Amino acid sequence: MKTNKKEVLRTFEGGVASKITPIEELKRTTMACLLWEDNFYEDGESVAERIEKLINKCNNDEVIELIRKVKFDMKIRHCPLYMTVCLLKKGCKGLSGLVADVITRPDDMGEMLSLFGSIKKIPNQLKKGIAKAFTKFSEYQLAKWNRDGKYKLVDIANLTHPMSNTAISKLIKGELATPNTWEVKISACGNDKEKKKQAWEALIKENDLLDMAFLKNLRGIKEAGVSDELIKQRIEKIDSHKLLPIDFVRCGDNNVEYESQIEKKFLSHFEKPTFFGKTAFLIDVSGSMDGKNLDYASALAMIGREMFEDVDIYTFSNEVVQVPARHGWGLKDAINRSQPHFGTYMWKAINLLNKNGYYKRLIVITDEQTFGGQPVSGTVFGKAYIINIATYQNGVGYNNGYIHINGFSDGVFDYMAEIEKF
């Protein structure tokens, strides 16, 4: 058998994929990664294994920079913890500051220890980083997350010896007051609907319900009998900067009676055009995009409709279809219903858009698992971007004049804005 053959990388659908560096491959695997979550073609375990292997091949400083982008630009929680643990296992030094930074909730400390594995082999820099992180949290926060688990907070404190303060001292002595969290208040109501209504109303009026908790519990809040007026007032107070686009999309899909208010709040952060000139968005609606990937892509398209001055939006699968010039959930529905969700003929779609007319900017949102076909040069447009919203190992959106961006946060447009300054 002949073994001296040139390696040809391919997507899961058989298209010729781009050969990229390990750090670029790590970016495409992590910038849109919800750790351990299965995808259309890959299971979460294999994705996690690939992350560790790639980190072992990459420059440590580049990985540290990427971890910060995944955590703070892409707003992803678990993957940066895991990436930091992989760096520690690799033997990278000087990570105590990074450990402290990526820990943003008290339960992140136990997550990191659990991800590391053997408690007998925990490096000092992990202990020091956790000790630094401990001092960021208030008594209320420690009490809220002082729950049963593989590693309890008191055990972690005894292991890492953080600098003592009132909250940490009470934790170690077992003197933390039971936190008056929304979970505790609602649980205390049992099955009494009237008590639940009063509890939810008090939580909302006293600003004791965080934005994410409010969005996730909106259905239960409505069913408890809380007034529409109060619910709409709380929607108006949501801080869009702290949430992912998908958080709004899922809440709107699950609470159609408040869709218009959620839509207005979601899009208010992007209502002034940032990008000028004629732009084409090309959204992948192939079969592998169904489910969460299409939700991610639609959310970015919804934002793009607001941020770009003059926009045409198309979908591609077996065909190329232009969707109506709608906004918000109307646009999301138009994208989903635009055509059957079958094959992935991205290059054919890009070539068609090039023939249809000049665009200053092309933005393709896809999982990059396209079929074969001749790559179309991105230089036929003023700027050509491919936004990858999946974690697959191989993709097609590199080289040929394309600017490649990974992620499903609105942060992808921040990167784009930086690029277009020059």
Span 385-405, pLDDT tens digits = 999 999 998 989 898 899 999
**pLDDT by residue (tens digit) across 206-217?**
998 999 999 999
pLDDT of residue 4: 54
- Picking from 168, 169, 85, 171, the residue whose alpha carbon sits closest to that of residue 129 is 85
The whole-number pLDDT of residue 6 equals: 60
Q: What is the pLDDT of residue 357?
A: 73
The predicted structure's pLDDT at residue 2: 57
The two three-digit tokens of residue 83, written as one number: 């990436």
Domain 275-419, CATH 3.40.50.1010 — does that match? no
The amino acid that residue 53 corresponds to is K
Q: Supply the pTM of this predicted model.
A: 0.90
CA dist 383 and 337 (Å) reads 28
Average pLDDT over residues 8-26: 87
Distance (Å, whole) CA 169 – CA 142: 11
pLDDT in tens, 35-87: 888 888 899 999 999 999 999 999 999 999 999 999 999 999 999 999 999 99
Q: pLDDT tens digit string along 130-166?
A: 999 999 999 999 999 988 888 999 999 999 999 999 9
Q: Which of 271, 220, 269, 215 is nearest to 241 (CA)?
A: 269
Predicted confidence at residue 358, as pLDDT, reads 85
Computed over every residue of the chain, the mean pLDDT equals: 93
What's the confidence (pLDDT) of residue 160? 94
Q: What are phi and psi of 76, to 5 degrees?
A: -100, 135
- CB-count burial class (<10 Å; 0-12, 13-18, 19+) for 367: buried
pLDDT of residue 148: 80
Question: pLDDT tens digit string along 294-326?
Answer: 999 999 999 999 999 999 999 999 999 999 989
pLDDT higher at 196 or 273: 196
* 244-265 residue pLDDT tens: 999 999 999 999 999 999 999 9
In sequence order, the 6+-apart residues with CB closer than 8 A to the CB of 246 are: 292, 295, 296, 299, 408
Question: Using CA atoms, how far apart are residues 243 and 410, in angstroms rounded to an integer?
Answer: 10
Q: For residues 66 and 326, give the distance between their C-alpha atoms in angstroms, rounded to a whole number.
A: 35
Which tens digits make up the pLDDT trace of 169-222? 999 999 998 888 899 899 999 999 999 999 999 999 999 899 999 999 999 999
Domain with CATH 3.40.50.410 in the chain: 275-419
pLDDT (average), residues 360-381: 91
Query: Helices 78-90 & 60-68, crossing angle to 10 degrees?
Result: 160
pLDDT of residue 213: 94
Q: Give the pLDDT confidence score for residue 163 in this predicted structure.
A: 94
pLDDT in tens, 217-244: 999 999 999 999 999 999 999 987 779 9
Residue 1: is its pLDDT beyond 70? no
Using the structure block, give the residue that is written with the tokens 């997350």. 145
Q: Are strands 308-316 and 320-322 parallel, antiparallel or unpaired?
A: antiparallel
Distance (Å, whole) CA 56 – CA 121 = 19
